[in-house]
Amino acid sequence: MKDITSASSVLYGTGSRRYEPGAQWFHWITAALVFTIIPLGWIFAEFKTKGNPPTSFEAPFPGAPGDYATAHKSIGIIIFALIIARFAFRLLNPPPALPGSMGGLTRLVSNASHWLLYLVLFCMPISGYIASSGGKHPISFLGLFDLPKLPVSHDIGEQAASLHVFAQWILLGLIALHLAGTAWHLFVRRDAILDRMLPRQANAE
């Protein structure tokens, strides 16, 4: 039993080299949803700008504008729930420490971008919710039921919509930074830091 506990602490506990499996699942599911919701938002915005539906979108993007709006908002709700659950999971299961080989500036950028990403993914669904409420638009979850609208004015809804768009650009910048850091570790440093967010291999460790 002691050996099993020791092995677990090396893999997933204090000072571990990898995130726990739960944290890995949160990471990859959230990433997949983010890469899905962004283009859905762009398509939905094009529908709103050019008409319902714009002629140029009929072939590559069939369906009613409401379908894209529902999908975008539904995924946003799921991401919001995942971020809350992931944050709670993180409090109960602290992540592995960054390797000592990482410099102070690199650690600062890594930690700052990580927490800023949490903040953006938390705020974007809220701003979208307020924007839809102010615009008197339905907030449907997977077409199953509608969320109640918040009692906000049209002006507040417009401000929330502007914040939502602004946060999108911050999110894209953070994604670019994350991908650049991933490439740097993978191709320049050639270290094993990326393994922290990957499942343990049977022949590893």
Which residues have a Cβ under 8 Å from the Cβ of 127 and sit 6 or more positions away?
160, 161, 163, 164, 167
SS (H, E, C) 8-63: HHHHCCCCCCCCCHHHHHHHHHHHHHHHHHHHHHHHHHHHHHHCCCCHHHCCCCCC
CATH number of 18-197: 1.20.950.20
Q: Which residue is listed with tokens 């709103």? A: 48
pTM above 0.85, yes or no: no
pLDDT at residue 2 is higher than 70: no
Contact call for residues 198 and 24 (beta carbons, < 8 A): yes
Q: What is the pLDDT of residues 21-47, one digit of tens each?
A: 999 999 999 999 999 999 988 887 777
Q: What is the pLDDT at residue 34? A: 96
